[in-house]
Amino acid sequence: MKVDAIYVHFGELSTKGNNQKQFINCLARNIRHALKDYPTLKIDERRDFILVNLHDEDPESVMNRLLLVAGIQRLSLVYILEKDYQKIASAVVEIMEKEEGHTFKIKAHRVDKTFPISSMDLSAKLGGEVLRNVKRFKVDVHNPDVLMRVDIKSSGAYLYCHERIGLGGYPLGMNGKVTTLLSGGIDSPVAAYSLIRRGIKVECLHFASPPYTSEAVLDKLVDLLEVLSAYQEDIRLEVIPFTKLQEAIYRYVAEPYCITIMRRMMLRIAARCKEKNHALGIATGESIGQVASQTLESLGVINEVTNVPILRPLATSDKIAIINEAKRLGTYEISIRPYEDCCTIFKPKNPKTKPSLEEARFYESKFDYETLIDEAVANSYSIYIRNGAIIKDERNQDE
């Protein structure tokens, strides 16, 4: 018997009310896009599931692709049959003959009430067929080695076992786009991934301070985004030349306030880029309490420069959990490569953990940062990544 299709179960649909249709359309569109290299596949959008008809494609390879698509809760290989008891029964026996293990359970679910056998009776009858025909199996209703599901729907009988867990979350693009601050550390790529998983597209922004920071940082960021492009096919990295602002800050601002002012400048620029790129918010990899600039008092003073929504997906995550997630994603090894970022180079000895807004404003009044911000934004350049490779690189281009 050959597997007919991959059965795609959605996540969290019950919580979405009127957004259901939008969710399904968006997910189906993303699935079609993710599977565009398999021309013979046919994708059927139903009210409560999506079916990827396999034809001659390799189920495992299609499955692996779908495991990276946000918005999918569970996936299973499915056999689709006519709603005929005898046919269903012999298929169940044939599938079970190939299964490993000693215990099983059949869970039938009759959605189509025109089918003459109730869910409970169908489970019991099919269970009896297995016991009679595949002698090594016993029933275990609590913790079976094989849980075989039989869904009777108007379009046919769907038989499947061994569900795989998908990414969950929302279909990408359903929840808009944000400008994400990417530093090259461990946290921000994990933050970017968690936004993508929740259906939010990311565009990344990096503040570079050459010659204080090395050009190699950009290679590192590209490597990180190549990993993340498995989840969001196209990602743009916008690089902001930050050196002049950085130098001005260290000239005019007292050392304990340098980080606070630097963050305020970053946020002002991010807000400008967010507007320019029609994004709906800004995101960072900040985590409460991690460092001096990430106390709630600091965040308050930093946030004051804009009223754009700021997402901090890792706000309450433990560092160890962030590291584990980075390892799972494959960003950790890239993130820990040694590099100098603009924060470590100018790191003050005793940064303010509870800065005051008045003092921050006082230091900012000492120099014309608006002009420096205009200049930085005007001189930004981008690197475009698609599917694990650079497709356009504005680095080192003549101005």
Looking from the CA of 390 toward its CB, the CA atoms found within 13 Å total 14
- Per the CB < 8 A criterion, the answer to whether 163 and 72 are in contact is no
Judged by CB under 6 A, the stretch of 15-23, 88-96, 115-123, 200-208 that binds ligand ATP is 200-208
Query: How far apart are CB 217 and Mg ion at their closest, in Å?
Result: 15
What is the sign, positive or negative, of the torsion defined by CA atoms of 350, 356, 359, 360?
A: positive
CB of 30 or CB of 213, closer to ligand ATP: 213
Among positions 67, 93, 139, 291, the unique one binding ligand ATP when judged by CB under 6 A: 291
Please report whether residue 4 would count as binding Mg ion according to CB under 5 A.
Answer: no
CB of 249 or CB of 342, closer to ligand ATP: 342
Query: How far apart are CB 332 and ligand ATP at their closest, in Å?
Result: 11
Query: How far apart are CB 167 and Mg ion at their closest, in Å?
Result: 24
Q: Which of these, 28, 311, 30, lies nearest to 177 by C-alpha position?
A: 311
Query: How far apart are CB 186 and ligand ATP at their closest, in Å?
Result: 4
> Is 350 exposed, middle or buried (CB count within 10 Å of its CB: 0-12, 13-18, 19+)?
exposed
Residue number with the smallest Cβ distance to ligand ATP: 185
- For residues 265 and 372, give the distance between their C-alpha atoms in angstroms, rounded to a whole number: 10
By three-state DSSP, how is residue 88 classified?
A: helix
Query: How far apart are CB 357 and Mg ion at their closest, in Å?
Result: 23
Please report whether residue 187 would count as binding ligand ATP according to CB under 6 A.
Answer: yes
Beta-bridge partners for 19: none
- For residues 104 and 232, give the distance between their C-alpha atoms in angstroms, rounded to a whole number: 38
Query: How far apart are CB 343 and ligand ATP at their closest, in Å?
Result: 4
Among positions 151, 187, 223, 325, the unique one binding Mg ion when judged by CB under 5 A: 187
CB of 31 or CB of 208, closer to Mg ion: 208
DSSP string, 45-57: E-SS-EEEE-TTS
Judged by CB under 6 A, the stretch of 76-84, 148-156, 184-192, 295-303 that binds ligand ATP is 184-192
For 13, 159, 327, the CA distances from 152, given in Å and listed in that order, are: 21, 9, 41
The residues of the shown chain that bind ligand ATP, judged by CB under 6 A, are 181-183, 185-188, 205-207, 284-286, 290-291, 341-343
Contact footprint for Mg ion (CB under 5 A): 187
